[in-house]
């Protein structure tokens, strides 16, 4: 008898319709599971080659600033999430010495929980984001690169720079379906002490299975423009992008 779930496998990366060998799953399905688990562990444990990443950005003409959190290694990063939410005092001084003024968008990149995601996808996503920001004539601070950062770091950096909006591109927690997914978080009027409720998130960025770079960038630009127009971000900022036509008119009055 044919398993009706088999036809649904083409629509999802989830482990469905694996079949069976006696009371267990087939050997190939077991090996695939073990490989995915190993890739997820590697994504978390591997360090990020931040200098090479900065070099790639410099090669395409982007200005970068490498900053640090108090985290000393990946083990400490996992055990002390609070360390990943703030900069070291030395890095804070370096930011202040930029004497940046009139910054619209502070752009930050961190490996977060997946160095693999940033290594594989970070440059391509950043190029798309930067192009969109410049078309809209946003003033962008030098890109802050911070190894072992947490999401809340965007408020710490954004507040020091005095940016209107702070954005962090960060490696997401890997799972058994994807170990190389990126997330983007946004905070309007960033300041230390902000909570997740004051931030917006775009997740699951890992084409072709997940969100494309172009779709993620369109969503981000929409949220930036709306947060500036309305004066807030987070749960109060409703995502109505899908309810607009291409020319910006609402589908339903």
Which residues are part of a known binding site for adenosylcob(III)alamin? 151, 172, 201
CA 229, 216, 183, 97 torsion-angle sign = negative
Six-digit token string for 61: 């003409």
User: Cα–Cα distance between 142 and 250 in angstroms, integer?
Assistant: 36
Q: How open is the CA angle 55-59-65, to the nearest 5 degrees?
A: 45
Question: Residue holding tokens 């030098």?
Answer: 142
Residues annotated within the binding site are 151, 172, 201
Q: Per-residue DSSP letters for 182-243?
A: EEEEEEES--TT--GGGEEEEEEE-TTTSB-HHHHHHHHHHHHHHHHHHT--GGGS---GGG
User: Cα–Cα distance between 35 and 22 in angstroms, integer?
Assistant: 22
User: Cα–Cα distance between 137 and 130 in angstroms, integer?
Assistant: 10
| Kind plus residue range of the DSSP H or E element containing 41 | helix 27-45
Question: Quick one: three-class SS letters along 47-90?
Answer: CCCHHHHHHHHHHCCCCEEEECCCCCCHHHHHHCHHHHHCCCHH
Q: How open is the CA angle 196-200-120, to the nearest 5 degrees?
A: 105
Residues 241 and 227 sit within 8 Å (Cβ to Cβ): no
């Amino acid at each position: 008898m044919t398993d009706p779930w088999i036809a649904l496998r083409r629509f999802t990366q989830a482990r469905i319709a694996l079949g069976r060998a006696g009371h267990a799953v087939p050997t190939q399905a077991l090996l695939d599971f073990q490989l995915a688990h190993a890739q997820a562990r590697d994504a978390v444990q591997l360090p990020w080659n931040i200098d090479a990443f900065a070099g790639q950005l410099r090669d395409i003409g982007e200005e970068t600033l490498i900053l640090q959190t108090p985290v000393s290694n990946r083990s400490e990063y996992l055990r002390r999430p609070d360390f990943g939410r703030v900069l070291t005092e030395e890095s804070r001084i370096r930011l202040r010495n930029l004497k940046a003024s009139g910054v619209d968008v502070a752009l930050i990149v961190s490996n977060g929980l997946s160095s693999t995601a940033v290594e594989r996808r970070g440059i391509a996503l950043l190029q798309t984001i930067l192009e969109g920001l410049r078309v809209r004539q946003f003033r962008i601070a030098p890109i802050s690169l911070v190894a072992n950062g947490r999401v809340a770091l965007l408020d710490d950096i954004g507040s020091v720079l005095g940016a209107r909006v702070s954005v962090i591109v960060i490696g997401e927690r890997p799972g058994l379906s994807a170990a190389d997914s990126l997330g983007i978080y946004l905070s309007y009027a960033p300041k230390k002490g902000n909570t997740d409720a004051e931030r917006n998130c775009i997740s699951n960025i890992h084409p072709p299975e997940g969100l494309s770079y172009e779709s993620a960038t369109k969503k981000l630009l929409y949220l930036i423009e709306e947060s500036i127009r309305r004066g807030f971000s987070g749960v109060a900022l409703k995502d109505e992008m899908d309810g607009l036509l291409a020319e910006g008119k609402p589908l339903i009055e």
